[in-house]
Amino acid sequence: MKYRELGKTGLKVSEIGLGGEWLERHDTKECREVILRCEEAGINILDCWMSEPNVRTNIGLAIKGRRDKWIIQGHVGSTWQDGQYVRTRDLDKVKPAFQDLLKRLGTDYIDLGMIHYVDRVDDFETVFRGPFLDYVLELKEKGVIRHIGMSTHNPATAKLAVESGIVEMILFSVNPAFDMVPPSDDIETYFSETYDEGLQGIDPERAEFYKLAEKAGVGITVMKGYAGGRLFDAGRSPFGVALTPVQCLHYALTRPAVASVLVGAETREQVEAAVAYETAGEEEKDYASVLAKAPTHAYVGECTYCGHCKPCPMDIDIAMVNKLYDLAVMQKEVPASVREHYRALPANAGDCIGCGGCESRCPFGVKVTERMEKTRALFKD
């Protein structure tokens, strides 16, 4: 298992994590089996947004005596009322629900205290300009939560979170289908049966969010990496082709700022399918060729950092150079941190000989040599 830095939190999280949502369907023994298999595979991060009491208890029992092996995302604002889940900002409901989470998980702290499910801009304003945030800050001051996070499906509120300077990491929905849909505060939009045929790549606001998060050192953990399983079925996929779990994981893990994909596994077999990513070859990970040949929604002309451009005769990491270029052009001046990363590369755009081999391999028709020239000029190679 490989591990990545989660933004500036100082935490190293496994590339593959566990999203606990589907564990609600299972008893104590079955939950324990899934969580133990995750541990065996080196998975060290799990998300528990669910408020249902039994699943919280079952997770707590499964990690009992091994709490220190897990980085837990626990949500503030997810409550259980009258036998059902309710998202709320009412502190009279929020506080006891969070204390219940601690008790049932058998812990006195949560590594990543998630401000739960902020998809609307007006809700963001309510949370960040009122007593809800005061409560979250109080929890952090007391050490009950170690880092402040937020969960959202909407890049508009995700960008506000990055800009707040308060949120240290974000749980965000990432997959190639969602990435092409314009921002929405209605999650059902992302699960539409059909998308606008005019869309030809990543929505600009989502792309901007990824870059902003990378620049600010705000880490991203991923939910909905499989789009609820739609992407595994050519008949239901908006692309008209099927992807594999490994391809979906690779897509998410090549987005800027992404540290871990939290897979909604409910069986040992589903854990196995996800951790197969760690031993998969480049051909198995290749989502780009599949999308480029899809009957709809090809990512024409834009770099997705997929790495198909390799190998370079000058040993340039073209995907990384492109990523740093994209980060740099967001500002009037190249940020010092981006320039430092660029200068530290063993080879960069200044070493490009313009042979065009990379372009012949790019499935999306990116004009790589042109981008190398622009990068060379920007960084003054």
Q: What is the pLDDT of residue 194?
A: 61
Q: What is the pLDDT of residue 211?
A: 93
Contact (CB, 8 A) for 4 and 12: yes
Q: What is the pLDDT of residue 297?
A: 64
Q: What is the pLDDT of residue 199?
A: 55
Interval 98-140: pLDDT, tens: 999 999 999 999 999 999 999 999 999 999 999 999 999 999 9
The residue ranges of the chain whose pLDDT is under 50 are none
Instruction: Locate 345 and state its tokens.
Output: 């590369």
Q: What is the pLDDT of residue 49?
A: 95
Alpha helices by DSSP H, 165-234: 204-216
- Sort strands 16-19 and 12-14 into parallel, antiparallel or unpaired: unpaired
Contact (CB, 8 A) for 345 and 320: yes
Q: What is the pLDDT of residue 235?
A: 85
Q: What is the pTM of this model?
A: 0.87
User: One-letter amino acid identity for 207?
Assistant: A
Which residues, 6 or more positions from 45, have their beta carbon under 8 angstroms from its beta carbon? 13, 14, 17, 18, 70, 71, 72, 73, 221, 260, 262
Q: What is the pLDDT of residue 181?
A: 77
Q: What is the pLDDT of residue 132?
A: 98
Q: What is the pLDDT of residue 298?
A: 65
